Chain A
Amino acid sequence: MKKYKLTIGWLYPELMSTYGDRGNIIVLQKRCEWRGIDAEILKFDLGFKISDLRKCDLLFMGGAQDRQQQIVAEDLMSKRSALKTMIEEGVSGLYICGAYQFLGKYYKEANGTKIPGLDILDLYTENPGTDGSRLIGNTIAETSDGNVVGFENHGGRTCLGKQVKPFGKVIKGFGNNGKDQTEGAIYKNSFGTYFHGPILPKNPEFADYLIELALKKKYGSPIILSHLDDSLEKKARDAIANKLGVKL
């Protein structure tokens, strides 16, 4: 059997990793390894080289505390065009919470200050400040490939433009803005979402989908992943669904 290999780029693991988001990297890595696919994790911290980023088949970036997000914003702005090219070319990626907001046009802070985003995805985020509380809790969204289970915790409300599709429709929880029932965004092979939890351990099908997208892009044809025993994953999903009174 042919030996496959994926290079997974983890953007700002030190600064953008506050809500257990590294669980997503662990899951991607293990689900590759358990199938005999080599998974190399490249970490990109402040001042990384763009040429290294271009080696990646799959990108991941998590959320962070406000202050750390400011530090990252400066660094990331200088790499905008490389990241945009990769996203446009269809490099698959998962962007959680703060990272998801970064990809949009702007983030308006509670005090009205507008922080420009990378303007790669057609969306923007506004924090209503004292008029609205943080959107916190267990959440479930329906996507074209089944239900996704997670935990959200965000102050910003995101509105999607026409160039992106929502990642899912909220069944329980708030999603992008607590109003239009949309959750996250999809653009080409990039996925933005507010789902922490972290998202991938309890949504192994989504994890595998990201791996498949990356393999397909790299090797030019669809690759069928071998079956893994996900019974524990199913129990963890069911526990949340029961708590929320939803049948998965």
Chain B
Amino acid sequence: MLNIFAIIIGKVISTLSATFNLGSGSTWPGHIALSSNPNFIRELIIKNSKLQTVLIAGTNGKTTTGKLIQTILEQNEKSVFQNAAGANLTNGIASSLIYNSDLSGNIKKDIAVFEIDENTLPLVLKEIPNPNYIILLNLFRDQLDRYGEVNTIASKWKKALEKISNTTLILNAEDPLIAHLASHLKGVNVKYFGAKTVSDRKFNQHASDSTYCPECGNKLIYKSIFFSHLGNWSCEKCGLSSPQDRFTNSTYFPLTGIYNEYNTNAAVLLTKCLGISDEKITKALKHFQPAFGRQEIINYKGKNIQIFLSKNPTGFNESLRTIVANKAKNVLIVLNDRIPDGRDVSWIWDVDFENFSSLFKNVTVSGDRTFDMGLRLKYAEFGNFQTEENLSSAINQAISKTSKDEILYILPTYSAMLEVRKILTGKKIL
């Protein structure tokens, strides 16, 4: 009875929020449902025993991987729902259950794909104790003020995973902390994915976190590095090494960047596990449209803008590397320091801007911490960049320097991406 009430309230709120463009519809209904019944998620999952569940966690790539999976499945006549991108705490999951159930809590979809915040994964595994699949993508340093250290997160995950059964774990073989998560688990099925493209070594990288053996603490040896600490690793002391039996060969990659090679291989491996043929997967991937802010292209005032969400050192390095490969000339960097971005912006000093100092024609900097980013570029000896605190003005300045046949690449942190999109499209998304 309690749940029916929560579902009705939730549905009313989401309608109001959509009607009035309040932009909080993806978390509030769930928040209210969980306040009236803390077991709301568990009860709905138990009630819908036929619903298959996929959990996706990792620092970078959750939203894109989820979107890739959804695309492949929907193109193959499966009905799928996801929590709204970025609404990846328990309230976001509960909200998505409310939207997709009838008033008695029945869900008539085949598969639920949830992206889960790193810190929330142990909590979610209490509510969804035996998901069909868990995809763990990577662990990079991100928002140390909020998340703590990557090793701390890995050990929390490890503990939470000890309780699961009948789950298939899909793990990144090339991230030592991730690959090692399954090493002492019993009764779970484990599959690994990886990448094929070898890093362009002219960009040396500073932002690595996990170069020490997760088993014995010795320094790891890398035969090849894809980016950051991802690669073919092994430990000379205890003999641990990256699992060689890994899936790396999706036949089609809809997005550029090595990080998207990982995301795509993870999504393809999962859908293969669900019984979809390679041929059908490839065909479906050709219909893929990027998630908002993730290489999304928006036309604005007759010019093309492409947004590359860049929210931590590794993500930022990869964004820069990818836009350089796309011959980018015009770049706008937007650095915010709100809770979703992390209040601490010191991570920008771990981005290897030095590798890119002379590669762009026009660089503009904006956001809450415009001048911190400006200082970063100054000390990386970027010759000529503009600082403009007002985001609308910054976009207009950057656009005016971009010619019709060029693209303006915007690299924003999370909340900055939402702001940029709101300016460009006039709509809120979260």
Contact = CB atoms under 8 A, between A and B. Distances in A.
B368 to A, nearest CB: 8
Contacts of B145: 136, 151, 153
B149 interface: yes
A23 B374 contact: no
Contacts of B217: 67, 71
Interface string B135-165: 0000001001100011110000000000000
B156 to A, nearest CB: 14
Nearest to A201: B375
A239 B387 CA distance: 13
B252 interface: no
12 contacts: A19-B144, A19-B344, A19-B347, A20-B346, A22-B206, A26-B349, A30-B381, A65-B150, A66-B151, A67-B149, A201-B375, A235-B371
B370 interface: yes
B13 interface: no
Interface in B185-228: 206, 209, 211-212, 217, 219
Interface in B367-417: 369-372, 374-376, 378-381, 387
A196 B369 CA distance: 15
A200 B97 CA distance: 48
A232 B152 CA distance: 36
Contacts of B151: 65-67
Interface string A11-23: 0001001111111
A7 interface: no
Nearest to A136: B145
Contact of B149 (A18, A151, A198, A201): A18
Nearest to B372: A236
Q: How large is the interface on B (under 10, 10 to 19, 20 to 34, 35 or more residues)?
A: 20 to 34
Interface in A62-117: 65-68, 71
Given A23-B379, A236-B369, A236-B374, 19 more contacts: A14-B211, A17-B206, A18-B144, A21-B346, A22-B350, A27-B379, A65-B149, A136-B343, A151-B145, A151-B344, A198-B349, A201-B375, A201-B379, A202-B372, A232-B375, A232-B387, A233-B375, A236-B371, A236-B372
A65 B370 CA distance: 28
A239 B372 CA distance: 9
Interface in B338-353: 343-350
A50 to B, nearest CB: 21
A202 B346 contact: no
Contact of A20 (B209, B348, B378): B348
Nearest to B150: A65
B224 to A, nearest CB: 19
B372 A22 contact: no
Contacts of A235: 371, 374, 387
A19 B375 contact: no
Nearest to A70: B217
Contacts of A138: 343
B contacts with A: majority SS: helix
Contact of A196 (B346, B371, B379, B387): B346
Interface of A: 14, 17-23, 26-27, 30, 46, 65-68, 71, 136-138, 151, 153, 196-198, 201-202, 232-233, 235-236, 239
B344 A153 contact: yes
Contacts of B370: 239
A170 B347 CA distance: 24
Contacts of A201: 349, 372, 375-376, 379
Contact of B346 (A197, A232, A233): A197
A26 B379 contact: yes
B74 to A, nearest CB: 41
A20 B349 contact: yes
Which of B211, B343, B346 has the most CB atoms of chain A within a 10 A radius of its CB? Answer: B346
B256 to A, nearest CB: 27
A23 B343 contact: no
A197 B145 CA distance: 12
A153 B144 contact: yes
Nearest 9 Cβ contacts at the A-B interface: A23-B349, A20-B346, A20-B349, A236-B371, A65-B149, A235-B371, A201-B375, A19-B346, A67-B151
Contacts of A197: 346
B351 to A, nearest CB: 9
A235 B345 CA distance: 16
Nearest to A237: B371
A30 B376 CA distance: 12
Contacts of B346: 19-21, 23, 151, 196-198
B344 A196 contact: yes
A236 B376 CA distance: 11
Which of A68, A198, A232 has the most CB atoms of chain B within a 10 A radius of its CB? Answer: A232
B219 to A, nearest CB: 8
A220 to B, nearest CB: 30
B212 A18 contact: no
Contacts of A27: 379
Given A23-B346, A71-B217, A232 B150 contact: no
Given A65-B151, A137-B343, A153-B344, A236 B375 contact: yes
